[in-house]
Amino acid sequence: MHEQESERQDAAASDMEYILSQPAITEISPATIFRFTKTNVAEFHQEMRPMILGGMGMFEYLEAIQFFCKLKEVVYGSDKKGGDKEFMSAVQDEIKKYGKEYTTPRGVKFELAETGTKYDYTQNAEWKALYMEEAFIAEKRKVLEEKLKRIPAGTLLVDPGTGETLIGPSKSSKSSFKITLPR
């Protein structure tokens, strides 16, 4: 237990040392950060661009963005995880204290809302038949796509056994970057 506390203190000291070693950022006005509007998101980024493109804090800026994106997943959930249900319930309870909505002094509105509505169609025979047909066609398409991927782009190939003509698909991609936070 004592060892874990010591490790946490060492990590906190290391983090503080890193923060203090960074140049002070005076170009960001507090008023810009504290206006929580849709427009301000783009304005904030536009104010940050010259500083970042000028060589100050690019990776730190992106680290912070990635951190808050992951934080949003922890709170709200993602395709892989369900989010913090206890926290979300507490937020809903807090909103209920004000009726069905609450607006903060900064103008941000919190509303109770039905989200993620799902319908179960499996009791309908016609729907089930269409779903099975769709799944069968999707599987056939996947098999064909796997076969076509093995043919160089634009190359015409004729299967001598069946006479089937296949043309290799063109391939495109875009360059970007990935950000991975450490565990």
Range name among 27-31, 70-74, 138-142, 151-155 with the lowest pLDDT average: 27-31
What are the DSSP calls for 88-104, one per residue? HHHHHHHHHTTSSEEE-
Q: Which three-class secondary structure state does DSSP give residue 61?
A: helix
pLDDT in tens, 47-91: 888 888 988 888 988 998 999 999 999 999 987 788 999 999 999
Q: Which three-class secondary structure state does DSSP give residue 1?
A: coil
Q: pLDDT value at position 26? A: 47
Range name among 31-40, 73-82, 141-150, 153-162 with the lowest pLDDT average: 31-40
pLDDT in tens, 154-171: 999 988 888 889 999 999
Indicate whether this model's pTM tops 0.95: no
Q: In the chain, count of helices (H) and strands (E)?
A: 6, 4
Domain locations along the chain? 2-81, 84-118, 125-167
In terms of Cα–Cα distance, which of 130, 93, 125 is closest to 112? Answer: 93
Contact 168, 152 (CB under 8 A): yes
Q: Is residue 116's pLDDT more than 50?
A: yes
Q: What rounded mean pLDDT belongs to the chain?
A: 86
Which percentage of the chain shows pLDDT scores above 90?
A: 47
Q: Is residue 105's pLDDT more than 70?
A: yes
pLDDT band at 181 (very low <50, low <70, confident <90, very high): confident
